[in-house]
Amino acid sequence: MTCISDALRPASLTVGFTTVLASLCTGHAALADTAPAAGVTATGIRPTSSRPPEKAAIHHVTLPHSPDWGAFNARKGAAAGFGTVGGFGQARWAEDWSDIVNTPPEQRRNDWFNRLKYIPLTDKGDIWLSISGEERLRYAFENQPQMGTAGKTNASRVLLRSQYGADLHLGEHVRAYAEFLWGDAGGSNYYGYQTGVQRERLDLQQGILEVKGRMLGARMGVIGGRQIFLDAPVTMQSARDLTNAQQSWDGFRGYAVWKSFRLDLFDFMQTNKLPRNVFADGTNYNARMYGIYTSTALPKFSVMGQKSQVFADVFFIGYLFNGASAALATTTGTQAGSTRRDNIGARMWGNVGPFDISLTGVFQGGEFRPASGGATRAVRAYAVNGTLGWTAKSLKAKPSIALQGDLFSGGSYHSQDGAVGTFATPYFPLPYYNDVTLALTSQNLVGIGPVITAAPLANLRLKLHVPVFWRESTQDAVYGTGKIYSWRNGLLGGFIGTTPQTQLAWNFAPHWTWTHDIAGFVASQGMHRAGAKDGAFYMQTMEFKF
């Protein structure tokens, strides 16, 4: 687990911000990234829909520059399991720009970069290439990072990322994609840059080969190689896009999408970002994720005169990992070891009339093996996450208000041989879901608070989230992203504090987005007495993407 994640995993502007603003209430697995703001597409070619796609009810809509997944086009294609796509995708290989052929030439000429999105290599056009790119400059300031435990104050970080990809389509059934990354980082009083996820020499960020086709009435495919994986609850795993280097995986996935049911099988090892030489990233064989994810589109219905649809997801996600992220809290520090976590879960989400709903439950079993020997301990942990939101679609700004509640089980640092009760999230939960500062993460945590979003202009998004947090177990530690805080017996009571956070995202021109995130941590009296400090966080991001 990387220390940089503890402090900064800034968000990508188009990532996190618009989707968080537009589909925040659903909390879907692809909540991290999204396309340009409503009505402003990546190419200047507007969708045919008369209303912004992210505000439309969940039903079959056609997405620009994306495969047609039928009912699973919901939430800008996130329901299909490949992340959001609406012009640009979270995973750039999830885009399909072949539809630009049917766009009138005068519209294609509105954007110079359209000529790079579909480059035919044969007269028939069955072999074609698409080029994508991103330049991102980010600044973040933290006056008391990690609640004052980072050993730095008034930390300023400057992050620069260059990321370019080429997507080669060899007919209908074969596709190869390669994406290259270069990242640099500096600032003053900074910390955590030694982990390999901020400073990255030129390397392969993603490289896949996909074989696909139609079989048994479904769209099926196998994707092998290094890739971003987003078909998991955002409370458990994300693209880790706050850092320069996104979280990528080496392995394979197989998918099948029918009319109202889809299936995803996967087995991955995490990419090792620590090597800093050119094209030196390898595979981290100490971090594995595997499983199966299924989703069923239930029959459509109407409520209060609005089209409605609900999805029922059932999944199993297995983790195998060791190192710092697998350590358990003890009365005096931590216990090293390795662990297997078996996550069995279900999720019901969608829209019921004007209401957005999402309810997820996960039971986490498995075992923990101490590094120093001794008895293997069973794991018995769980998580429950839910949101209920309402959007005033008749108003110009489309304001939305939701209530988000989360519970991640905790254990006891006094126990040395009983079952482990602390829910584990080793693979970077989405920070925008609960705490953009990364001071807290989805372990031994109860949180509840309102989420308010609005779009006063077609290219301007606002969000306000005010979660209040408690420890689920007062016999367990406080956890940050990749960090177990040292406070134990001096920490009284379960109340941790609150982290009010707001975001403004301005898609001020095609391809350009400027995002501001402002947050603060206000600790409880018990946390203050233990040594925690209040803190302020500010981040701005300028991103150019084509």
What is the tens place of the pLDDT at every residue in 490-514? Answer: 898 999 999 999 999 999 999 999 9
Q: What percent of the chain has pLDDT over 70?
A: 89
Write down the pLDDT at residue 279: 96
Return phi, psi of residue 326, to 5°: -95, -5
Q: How many residues does the chain have?
A: 546
Which range (60-64, 108-112, 302-306, 314-318) has the least confidence? 60-64
d(CA 317, CA 343): 5
Q: How confident is the model at residue 86 (pLDDT cuts 50, 70, 90)?
A: confident
What is the 3-state secondary structure of 392-445?
Answer: CCCCCCCCEEEEEEEEECCCCCCCCCCCECCCCCCECCCHHHHCCCCCCCCCCE
The three-class DSSP label of residue 53 is helix
Amino acid present at 523 = A
Residue 216 contacts residue 263 (beta carbons within 8 Å): no
Residue 48 has pLDDT above 60, yes or no: no
Residue 46 has pLDDT above 90, yes or no: no
pLDDT in tens, 270-287: 999 998 899 999 999 999
Write down the pLDDT at residue 23: 35
* The two structure tokens encoding residue 541: 């991001």
Mean pLDDT of 307-319: 97
Mean pLDDT of 521-537: 97
Mean confidence (pLDDT) of the chain: 89
Write down the pLDDT at residue 490: 84
Q: Is the pTM of this model over 0.85?
A: yes
Write down the pLDDT at residue 12: 37
Q: How confident is the model at residue 390 (pLDDT cuts 50, 70, 90)?
A: very high
The three-class DSSP label of residue 156 is strand
Write down the pLDDT at residue 30: 33
Top mean-pLDDT range of 20-24, 304-308, 510-514: 510-514
Residue 49 has pLDDT above 80, yes or no: no
Mean pLDDT of 213-229: 97
Write down the pLDDT at residue 62: 76
The three-class DSSP label of residue 528 is helix
Write down the pLDDT at residue 44: 52
Mean pLDDT of 216-223: 97
pLDDT in tens, 157-192: 999 999 999 999 999 999 999 999 999 999 999 998
Amino acid present at 359 = L
| Structural domains of the chain, ranges and CATH numbers in brackets | 70-545 (2.40.160.100)
Write down the pLDDT at residue 45: 53
Residues 6+ apart with CB under 8 A from 219: 67, 69, 212, 213, 256, 257
Write down the pLDDT at residue 157: 97
**Extended strands (E) in 79-173:** 85-86, 88-89, 119-120, 127-142, 155-170
Write down the pLDDT at residue 463: 98
Which range (187-201, 203-217, 338-352) has the least confidence? 187-201
Indicate the DSSP class of residue 115. G
Residue carrying structure tokens 């009339």: 353
Q: How confident is the model at residue 42 (pLDDT cuts 50, 70, 90)?
A: very low
Long-range contacts of 45-53 (CB under 8 A, 24+ apart): 45/100, 45/103, 45/107, 45/108, 45/110, 45/111, 45/114, 52/22, 52/398, 52/455, 52/458, 53/86
Write down the pLDDT at residue 524: 97
d(CA 128, CA 506): 33
Burial letters 449-476, b for 16+ CB under 10 A, else e: bebbbbbeeebbbbbebebbbbbbbebb
Residue 314 contacts residue 363 (beta carbons within 8 Å): no
Q: How confident is the model at residue 427 (pLDDT cuts 50, 70, 90)?
A: very high
The three-class DSSP label of residue 106 is helix
Q: Which of 38, 40, 5 is nearest to 19 (CA)?
A: 38
Residue 337 has pLDDT above 80, yes or no: yes
Which range (100-109, 295-304, 339-348) has the least confidence? 100-109
Write down the pLDDT at residue 51: 33
Q: How confident is the model at residue 460 (pLDDT cuts 50, 70, 90)?
A: very high
Write down the pLDDT at residue 107: 87
The three-class DSSP label of residue 70 is helix
- Is the sign of the CA dihedral 218, 219, 223, 228 positive or negative? negative
Indicate the DSSP class of residue 322. E
Residue 17 contacts residue 37 (beta carbons within 8 Å): no
